[in-house]
């Protein structure tokens, strides 16, 4: 496998999603790591690092340590890459995100799923179609970036790309929970069907179930993250800034309304 490690990891529990981010960072301190993730867990909402969890008792929401907006997992495919960087290096996450999006677009075009010039990005999401406004385009994939330092002092840069190869069928209740019309959500998407197969053919991936891949350290960090008190953005992937999910006020007052943008 050369200088890299390649793993196809199957996820069967929502908490394994954030745990895999921590595990990837730990392993990437030794050598660059690329993961292709198949999501077989129950449908759930995956919140970004600073996003608040609305109702932890329902068990619908899990927070991950990388950034970005909320994602609704149901048969999702994710592609991740992580490698160590110089701790003294001043690196723009936005610039590296742009490079990551460009690399994903190159792979999508290389797989002949799209033609050159049909795709664009805003450093976070990848879109299909023409026009100056992303609202007029179709959402193809969401991406996120993450920098962290391991307990051993290694600085890690990580990127993720998530997409639906077919329209998700079991997230309507999750979308409505966040105030999103499922029909509107599905109209906004252009599914890159066959992209996971194209990615899997590029490298020699070793198959693992997440339960056998994760360390206790990564699992513990993932559980601890769920109890963090966060007050970041309340935006959703695919919908962008058009919808803000409602978060109850601490004093039991009214929740802020759905809809609108920053």
Q: Hey, what domains does the chain have and what are their CATH numbers?
A: 5-226 (3.30.930.10)
The confidence score (pLDDT) of residue 4 equals 62
Closest CA to 69 of 122, 32, 148, 124: 124
- The phi-psi region of residue 96 (left if phi > 0; otherwise alpha if psi is between -120 and 50; otherwise beta) is alpha
Q: Going by C-beta distance under 8 Å and a sequence separation of 6 or more, which residues neighbour residue 162?
A: 71, 76, 77, 78, 79, 141, 142, 143, 237
pLDDT (tens digit, 0 to 9) for every residue of the chain, 262 residues total?
344 689 999 999 999 999 999 999 999 999 999 999 999 999 999 999 999 999 887 888 999 998 888 999 999 999 999 999 987 664 667 788 999 999 999 999 999 999 999 999 988 899 998 766 667 789 999 998 888 888 788 899 999 999 999 999 999 999 999 999 999 999 999 999 999 999 998 888 999 999 999 999 999 999 999 998 888 888 888 887 667 787 765 444 444 433 332 2
What counts of helices (H) and strands (E) characterise the chain? Answer: 7, 11
Q: Which residue in this structure is represented by tokens 């077989």?
A: 40
pTM: 0.88
Give the tokens for residue 96. 């590296």
- Cα–Cα distance between 236 and 48 in angstroms, integer? 9
């Amino acid at each position: 496998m050369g200088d890299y490690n390649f793993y196809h990891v199957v996820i069967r529990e929502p908490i394994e999603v954030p745990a895999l981010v921590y595990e990837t960072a730990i392993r990437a301190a030794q050598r660059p790591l690329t993961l292709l993730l198949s999501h077989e867990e129950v449908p759930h909402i995956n919140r970004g690092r600073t996003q608040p969890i609305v109702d932890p008792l329902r068990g619908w929401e899990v927070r991950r340590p990388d950034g970005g907006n909320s994602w609704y997992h149901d048969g999702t495919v994710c592609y991740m890459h992580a490698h160590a960087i110089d701790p003294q290096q001043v690196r723009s996450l936005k610039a590296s995100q742009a490079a990551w999006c460009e690399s994903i677009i190159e792979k999508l075009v290389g797989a002949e799923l799209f033609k050159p010039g049909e795709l664009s990005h805003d450093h976070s999401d990848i879109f299909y179609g023409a026009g100056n406004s992303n609202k007029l385009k179709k959402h193809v994939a969401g991406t996120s970036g993450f920098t962290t330092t391991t307990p051993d002092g290694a600085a890690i840069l990580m990127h993720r790309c998530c997409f639906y190869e077919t329209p998700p069928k079991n997230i309507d209740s999750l979308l409505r929970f966040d105030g999103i019309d499922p029909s509107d959500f599905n109209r906004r998407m252009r599914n890159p069907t066959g992209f996971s197969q194209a990615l899997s053919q590029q490298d020699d991936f070793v198959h693992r179930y997440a339960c056998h891949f994760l360390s206790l350290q990564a699992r513990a960090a993932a559980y601890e993250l769920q109890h963090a008190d966060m007050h970041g953005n309340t935006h959703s992937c695919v919908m962008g800034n058009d919808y803000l999910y409602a978060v109850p006020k601490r004093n039991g007052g009214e929740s802020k309304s759905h809809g609108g943008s920053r």
